Structure 1
């Protein structure tokens, strides 16, 4: 770094000792104050001296003017020579001129450097400063006749008449000398006072820095780990207080060190038996851990069995739905087949007896054709139902991924769930948007809807003589669909709502509830289907469950 640069010296000052920084800072302050004070004092003295010299020049010009009346009246330079010579004897008077009113010179003594000379001002009653340069002043005083004594016989008093002017040029050498002398004196006094103050400051800094240095040395030794150190309470009272605080701190540290050593000794005594205790505790923990692992495996197996039971229960409800829906078309087909069989038997009997008429034969044939058509129609209806339930059963028992319409899957689940609502004062309303296609898993989705319907039936409408379950599907942004299941049932408290997705949590414990229904729903929605589920509920006002699913289920989840 360049030693002539300001940054170099500022850096050195920043890392200097406190004593040096204090001395330099106060020295700069003292010299600055002394210099400003000396400068102001010199400037004020120069103003006073200038005022005095100007007044002297004005008075001298007036004096010469009063003694030059006769010379101007007689136009004789000899009559003015004596007062002009006396004026020239004054210090710094460079030139004296006696002028007529038109500016012509009657007598001139002395020479000056070139100065602008203008015509004296008229109408002035006394002397005035005409011109000022850096080297001199030029004063002008008018010369008037002496007024005559007033006569009692004359009405008008004669006014003085202007005869000419006296021009006095006074140099500024005396002013320069006085200003220089004042500056030397003021700056000298300031320098002496500054030196005295700096000497006193050095003594004070030494008194401050010496005990601080000693305290700093002791603290540095204590920082290296030395014990038994004490600082000498010396110097000003605040520094002595710091030393006493340090001594108290060192005493406390020594006491704590002694206590720590005693504690370490006690710990060393316990260390011998600690390993044995740790070994015993480790063996105990290992045994407990093995028991916990076995309990966890048992719990997982129980959970798996409960999930399978829930799937089987869903399949049972599906079979019940199949049986209920097949009863009607198969019963109709059976009735039509029986009727047709009776009609055909009557024809056979009539043919055997030989009493069969043509009209009766045609009527029997028409009835037989009608019965066959009814049988065919109801059997086809049963076949369609069986195909639909077959697909639904495949979806319910497998996790096969395919593209499907959400409203169709929900409609199939609702169709299969009708037996659960038979002979019960509850109803299901749908608001399904048709044509919402997603690439996902219809089986798990059907299981989710089935569990929500079952949950509403068991919990939402418990103890109620009426209720309505509304299932809605709609598009949610370009890449998502929403399925909303809401009921006007008993609702849930906030504590129950926060725990609804916990495994084995149920409000029907001991009444057939496993506590896994909503946990299965949560796992399927957030896991395999890659969506989100949100539950809102208010006591005595019902529950609203919103499921948001992507139009394309995640690919990284095994199907």
Structure 2
């Protein structure tokens, strides 16, 4: 038995207390005593014993009521209680056991029997505690494995989807881009021909003169190059989105790569750009980037991008909720993304918003598996649990959240520049 564990003897008879105390101490047990139910409950609440030997017939509250109160308290209900009594009829035994006692010792008692029963029930309690601990550990392991499986499945599906979309976009985009330059050259040649026709307008056949007269040729010749330039800019924009999709969808899980963390942040923001635009009366969500010069860091880029996606998507949700609840009537909806170097071997990424914020109770549970504040069907409670696992376990970093209700939230991610891959 550990020094912090002891057997509590509760009996109003000083002789019984003395005899039992000496017997148990002689057998190697630490012992404390109480002479009534009230003082026993007070002592137990202050420092719980490993086991209680409880007399049934006592002044004040008797042993049955003392047992009932202890079993009603979640902090003391698991303590084994052995009744000591001369009331050995079946009715009293059944009453005591129904209240939660684990055994009965009849009076007058034999010291050897008391010691044997105490030792036996302490061993049972230790085995039970070990089993409960093992069950808790196993449950935690299963929850962790579930998060890993969900994270891997989400990454795989997301990566395949985005890589497929980017691949399908790539061929037509490349075709348009490669044909834009010769198209502009053709239009330039046609423009020169049409300008010559304008110079020699009176010498042209009557049908061509009529066609020119019915068409605003000067405007067409002026606007057509602008249309082509606009089309070229749009195709370059689509190509940029395609590249961002491929960058975001990196699903490497075997080894870490050296990457520019800013590229991952920008790719994620680009994918979420449609959610940042104004919607109805809700104004645009402005993004303020404050990037410091950073070295490339060793990481699993696809997994980190998923972390950024979860945090930024949650920030947008919080901003939309703040707007719907009238918390931001001044139209100031913003997300701030900043990075800095933490000398000498770490980088810091901060993602802050002025959204709805969260209470202290929610903030303390935000990384718990299956915990979500969203309505049924709108959240699984796995996003931030996975983000925590990716940052802490996969990258040896740290992630924390600071938040004030109705004012906003800031996530801080610390990542090592160099590091070994972790399982």
Cα deviation, residue 463, structure 1: 4.4
Alignment CA distance shift 1:317-1:494 (3 Å): farther
Cα deviation, residue 264, structure 1: 3.4
CA contact (8 A) 2:303 2:390 kept: yes
Alignment CA distance shift 1:270-1:479 (3 Å): closer
CA contact (8 A) 1:330 1:382 kept: no
Does residue 389 of structure 2 align to residue 523 of structure 1?
yes
SS of equivalent residue, structure 1 residue 462 = helix
CA deviation map 1:458-486 (0-9, x unaligned): 24542425521111111122221111111
- Alignment partner of 1:484 out of 350, 363, 383: 350
Q: Give the Cα–Cα distance (whole angstroms) in 1 for the partners of residues 294 and 416 of structure 2.
A: 15
Q: Which has the greater radius of gyration?
A: 1
CA deviation map 1:169-223 (0-9, x unaligned): xxxxxxxxxxxxxxxxxxxxxxxxxxxxxxxxxxxxxxxxxxxxxxxxxxxxxxx
> 2:37 matched to which residue of 1?
none
Q: Give the Cα–Cα distance (whole angstroms) in 1 for the partners of residues 367 and 118 of structure 2.
A: 49
> 1:136 matched to which residue of 2?
none
Cα deviation, residue 372, structure 1: 8.4
- Alignment partner of 1:544 out of 394, 410, 414: 410
CA contact (8 A) 1:402 1:440 kept: yes
- Alignment partner of 1:429 out of 269, 278, 288: 288
When you count helix as a share of all residues, which structure comes out higher?
A: 1
SS of equivalent residue, structure 2 residue 323 = coil
> 1:444 matched to which residue of 2?
303
Alignment CA distance shift 1:492-1:331 (3 Å): farther
Alignment CA distance shift 1:399-1:429 (3 Å): farther
CA contact (8 A) 1:340 1:371 kept: no
Cα deviation, residue 521, structure 1: 1.2
Alignment CA distance shift 1:407-1:267 (3 Å): closer
Alignment CA distance shift 1:332-1:523 (3 Å): same
Alignment CA distance shift 1:302-1:519 (3 Å): closer
> 2:420 matched to which residue of 1?
555
CA contact (8 A) 2:352 2:408 kept: yes
> 1:455 matched to which residue of 2?
314
CA contact (8 A) 1:399 1:443 kept: no
Does residue 339 of structure 2 align to residue 473 of structure 1?
yes
Alignment CA distance shift 1:296-1:340 (3 Å): same
Within a 5 Å distance, the mapping from 1:226-265 to structure 2 comes to 253=19, 262-265=110-113
Query: Any unmatched runs of 5+ in structure 2?
Result: 1-13, 24-105, 194-203, 213-217, 325-330
Q: Give the Cα–Cα distance (whole angstroms) in 2 for the partners of residues 471 and 254 of structure 1.
A: 69
Q: Give the Cα–Cα distance (whole angstroms) in 2 for the partners of residues 524 and 269 of structure 1.
A: 50
Alignment CA distance shift 1:314-1:544 (3 Å): farther
Q: Give the Cα–Cα distance (whole angstroms) in 2 for the partners of residues 502 and 434 of structure 1.
A: 33
Alignment CA distance shift 1:452-1:263 (3 Å): same
CA deviation map 1:108-143 (0-9, x unaligned): xxxxxxxxxxxxxxxxxxxxxxxxxxxxxxxxxxxx
Supply the RMSD in Å over aligned alpha carbons: 5.7
Query: TM (normalized to structure 2)?
Result: 0.50
> 1:416 matched to which residue of 2?
271
Q: Give the Cα–Cα distance (whole angstroms) in 2 for the partners of residues 468 and 540 of structure 1.
A: 14
Within a 5 Å distance, the mapping from 1:7-406 to structure 2 comes to 253=19, 262-265=110-113, 303-304=147-148, 306-308=150-152, 310-311=154-155, 315=159, 382-383=238-239, 385-394=241-250, 396=251, 398=253, 400-406=255-261
Cα deviation, residue 318, structure 1: 5.2
CA contact (8 A) 1:536 1:543 kept: yes
CA contact (8 A) 2:347 2:417 kept: yes
Alignment CA distance shift 1:438-1:312 (3 Å): closer
Q: Give the Cα–Cα distance (whole angstroms) in 2 for the partners of residues 448 and 547 of structure 1.
A: 10
Q: Give the Cα–Cα distance (whole angstroms) in 1 for the partners of residues 20 and 376 of structure 2.
A: 67
Cα deviation, residue 542, structure 1: 0.9
Q: Give the Cα–Cα distance (whole angstroms) in 1 for the partners of residues 141 and 412 of structure 2.
A: 33
CA contact (8 A) 2:255 2:421 kept: no
Cα deviation, residue 388, structure 1: 4.2
Alignment CA distance shift 1:492-1:369 (3 Å): closer
For this pair of structures, how many residues does the alignment match?
Answer: 285
SS of equivalent residue, structure 2 residue 357 = coil
SS of equivalent residue, structure 2 residue 262 = helix
- Alignment partner of 2:362 out of 491, 496, 499: 496
CA deviation map 1:390-414 (0-9, x unaligned): 23322x5646422222222211221
CA contact (8 A) 2:359 2:405 kept: yes
Q: Give the Cα–Cα distance (whole angstroms) in 1 for the partners of residues 156 and 146 of structure 2.
A: 15
Query: TM (normalized to structure 1)?
Result: 0.39
Q: Give the Cα–Cα distance (whole angstroms) in 2 for the partners of residues 533 and 440 of structure 1.
A: 15
CA contact (8 A) 1:413 1:446 kept: yes
Q: Give the Cα–Cα distance (whole angstroms) in 2 for the partners of residues 255 and 549 of structure 1.
A: 58
SS of equivalent residue, structure 2 residue 321 = coil
SS of equivalent residue, structure 1 residue 478 = coil
